[in-house]
Structure 1
Amino acid sequence: MLEPGGRLLLYTGSAILDGGRDELREGLAELAAAEGAELDYRETDPDVFGEDLERDVYADVERIAVVTAVIRKPA
């Protein structure tokens, strides 16, 4: 939970599934909406860690994007 006027800053990688679905973005959007907060979500590098896509765990992943997310709760 964020206090009024609070922010959560996140810089991470997000697995973009085949077809372009970004489950991290979807989850953060749900969280922000439930908290009455705003989400600013941006891909800062659309395709990194390409060598990791060869691993079985990434079989359904199209690419891995570096993302920056800010969730702000109005004061």
Structure 2
Amino acid sequence: MPESVEQLDLLLVTVAKKRRVQQDGVSFEGYRYMDPTLSGYVGEDVVLRYDPADMAEVRIFAEDRFVCRAVCPE
């Protein structure tokens, strides 16, 4: 059993893509995903994990650690 919700997300949301954090968030598939936590990662590469059936939010990981859930405001 996973020890946290983030570990459960990692197991359930298996599609992963590498992206670079910009000042206005992370761009993926024509959408922009944002969370205030990402401001500390501007210029860094992160891995986003997502559910292809629900593109409203993605989970962001840096160095295999959960960073945040970023949402698409559109």
* TM surpasses 0.5: no
Whose relative contact order is higher, 1 or 2, with alpha carbons under 8 Å and at least 6 apart?
Answer: 1
Between Structure 1 and Structure 2, the one with more helix by share is 1
Structure showing greater radius of gyration is: 1
Q: TM-score, normalised by structure 2?
A: 0.23
Q: TM-score, normalised by structure 1?
A: 0.23
